[in-house]
């Protein structure tokens, strides 16, 4: 294909970028399907504490799993950083250039002091960790296709669209993951099960008019982003209002999964498993217990396992220090129940 034809056909250019990416690589069986890098964790002169998100949550999840005996550090898969070419699969050049302005990143992360830092520091201390997590989300689909499941201890930036970041989400990792899976994994249908407390308006905007993607979004309509335009792209909308308790939440989830199973036959599940539904979370405003999170995750994994659908799990939101412990306990439960294998040679059958 000539350079002229590539440049004048966006889909051909997207294809070329995906096929040339290094984000997919072969992972030895000595590694398990859990993806994480110490680069995920954000520490920037203490100003990360100005945002309610626990910016070291991802590392704490892994340390809990290691200390509890469910995971060996040497068995964790380290992803590559998503390059500019990788990001251009979904994002525009204009949007990526906007991230070269620290004020833009300050708005996205909701940390106003970031606007006053040189952009090279913002790139290194904030955006580089995000780009590593994007690489993890993209790689997770390949691992899931090969082994039945994969968990990126990070990612789930479900508020970011191709043209705009918001809500601590600078890159559209879910949209990117799915576009890579369509081409590199020959997957033709994907279901997004978004169980973060907030509406996943990013992937809805990017993928909502794509008939290959079915979106189940279970969210609190009384909290931001209040993106009514994106809501029209949700195939299965399940609203859980502030104060919803564990039993009610799990009942609605059971009903939603049953409807989804009858409505769409996917070849990949992308599960956005935010823990901001926890009782006490200052942003989610729901009242789901830690055991409720464990039950929720188990239900989604059983949904995929019973239908032999590869599943990618992303940890997404969660705004309390306790979230890391809850995520780790839930992953440990999945291991105990045989829904994932966290020892060497972890290929699901």
Active-site residue, from 91, 158, 159, 203: 159
Taking only the tens place, the pLDDT of each residue in 74-95 is 999 999 999 999 999 999 999 9
Rounded to an integer, the average pLDDT of 310-325 is 96
Q: What are phi and psi of 195, to 5 degrees?
A: -115, 15
Distance in angstroms (rounded) separating the CA atoms of residues 227 and 238: 15
CB atoms within 10 A of CB 225: 17
Give the model's pLDDT for residue 51.
60
Give the model's pLDDT for residue 344.
52
Q: Is-catalytic flag, 179?
A: no
Taking only the tens place, the pLDDT of each residue in 160-184 is 999 999 999 999 999 999 999 999 9
Per cent of the chain over pLDDT 70 is: 94
**pLDDT tier at 5 (50, 70, 90 boundaries)?**
very low
Q: What are phi and psi of 272, to 5 degrees?
A: -95, 100
pLDDT above 90: residue 200: yes
Average pLDDT, the chain: 94
Give the model's pLDDT for residue 302.
98
28 DSSP β-pair partners: none
Going from the N-terminus, what domains does the chain have, and what CATH number goes with each?
A: 18-83+128-337 (3.40.800.20)
Q: What is the pTM of this model?
A: 0.95
Burial group, residue 282, by CB count within 10 angstroms (0-12, 13-18, 19+) = exposed
**pLDDT tier at 50 (50, 70, 90 boundaries)?**
low
Give the CA distances from residue 268 to residues 79, 81, 119, 246, in Å, rounded to whole numbers and listed in that order: 20, 23, 37, 27
């Amino acid at each position: 294909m000539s350079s002229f034809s590539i440049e004048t056909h966006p889909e051909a250019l997207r294809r070329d970028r995906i096929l040339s990416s290094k984000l997919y690589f072969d992972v030895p069986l000595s590694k398990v399907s859990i993806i994480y890098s110490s680069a995920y964790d954000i520490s920037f002169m203490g100003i990360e504490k100005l945002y309610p998100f626990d910016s070291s949550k991802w590392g704490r999840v892994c340390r809990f799993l290691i200390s509890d005996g469910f995971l060996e550090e040497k068995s964790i898969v380290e992803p590559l950083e998503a390059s500019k070419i990788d990001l251009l699969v979904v994002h525009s050049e204009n949007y990526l250039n906007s991230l070269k302005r620290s004020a833009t990143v300050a708005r996205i992360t909701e940390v106003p002091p970031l606007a006053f830092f040189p952009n090279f520091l913002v790139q290194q201390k904030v955006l580089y960790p995000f780009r590593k997590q994007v690489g993890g989300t993209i790689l997770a689909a390949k691992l899931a296709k090969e082994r039945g499941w994969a968990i990126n201890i990070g990612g789930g930036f479900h508020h970011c669209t191709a043209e705009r970041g918001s809500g601590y989400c600078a890159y559209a990792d879910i949209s990117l993951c799915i576009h890579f899976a369509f081409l590199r994994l020959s997957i033709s249908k994907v279901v997004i099960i978004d169980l973060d407390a907030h509406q996943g308006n990013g992937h809805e905007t990017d993928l909502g008019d794509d008939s290959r993607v079915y979106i189940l979004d279970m969210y609190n309509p009384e909290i931001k982003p209040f993106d009514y335009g994106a809501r029209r792209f949700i195939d299965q909308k399940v609203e859980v209002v502030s104060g919803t308790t564990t039993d009610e939440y799990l009942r609605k989830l059971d009903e939603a999964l049953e409807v989804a199973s009858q409505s769409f036959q996917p070849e990949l599940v992308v599960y956005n498993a935010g823990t901001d539904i926890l009782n006490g979370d200052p942003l989610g405003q729901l009242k789901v217990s830690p055991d409720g999170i464990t039950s929720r995750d188990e239900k989604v994994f059983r949904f995929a396992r019973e239908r032999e659908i590869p599943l990618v799990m992303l940890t997404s939101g969660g705004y309390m220090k306790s979230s890391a412990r809850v995520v780790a306990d839930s992953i440990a439960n999945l291991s105990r129940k045989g829904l994932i294998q966290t020892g060497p040679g972890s290929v699901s059958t």
